[in-house]
Structure 1
Amino acid sequence: MSAPLDAGPFFHGTVADLQVGDLLVPGRPSNYRPEVLMNHVYFTALPDGGGLAAELAAELVGGGASPRVYVVEPTGAFENDPNVTDKKFPGNPTRSYRSTAPLRVVGEVTAWTRLTPEALQAWRDRLISLPPDQRGEIVN
Structure 2
Amino acid sequence: MDRSLDDGPFFHGTIAELSVGEFLTAGHRSNYRPEIVMNHVYFTARIEGAGLAAELAAELSGRRAHPRVYEVVPTGRFENDPNVTDKKFPGNPTRSYRSTAPLRILGEVTEWTRLSPEQLQWWRERLSELFSSGRGEILN
Normalising by the smaller structure, the TM-score range is over 0.9
Say what the alpha-carbon RMSD is for the aligned residues: 1.3
Partner of 1:134: 135
Q: For the Cα contact (< 8 Å) 1:12–1:71, is it kept in 2?
A: yes
Partner of 1:38: 38
Q: CA deviation at 1:30?
A: 0.7
- Summarize the alignment of residues 2-21 of structure 1 with structure 2, pairs less than 5 Å apart: 5-21=5-21
After superposing the two structures, state which structure 1 stretch, 121-130 or 110-119, moved more: 121-130
**SS of equivalent residue, structure 1 residue 55:** helix
Structure 2 unaligned spans of 5+: none
Pair 1:113-2:113 in alignment = yes
Q: Which runs of at least 4 in structure 1 moved beyond 3 Å after TM superposition?
A: none
Partner of 2:98: 98
Partner of 1:54: 54
Structure 1 unaligned spans of 5+: none
Matches of 2:19 and 2:129, distance apart in 1: 36
What whole-Å deviation, never above 9, does each CA across 1:23-43 have from its counterpart, x for those lacking one?
000111111111111100000
Partner of 1:22: 22
Partner of 1:71: 71
Q: CA deviation at 1:52?
A: 0.2
Question: TM-score normalized by structure 2?
Answer: 0.93
Partner of 1:89: 89
Matches of 1:10 and 1:79, distance apart in 2: 13
Question: TM-score normalized by structure 1?
Answer: 0.93
What whole-Å deviation, never above 9, does each CA across 1:48-96 have from its counterpart, x for those lacking one?
1100000000001132100000000000000000011001111111110
Q: For the Cα contact (< 8 Å) 1:51–1:113, is it kept in 2?
A: yes
Q: For the Cα contact (< 8 Å) 1:11–1:46, is it kept in 2?
A: yes
1:4/1:30 CA distance change after superposition, 3 Å: farther
Matches of 1:127 and 1:103, distance apart in 2: 26
- Quick one: which amino acid aligns to residue 113 of structure 1? T
Q: CA deviation at 1:129?
A: 2.1
- Quick one: which amino acid aligns to residue 60 of structure 1? L
- Quick one: which amino acid aligns to residue 56 of structure 1? L
Q: CA deviation at 1:6?
A: 1.2
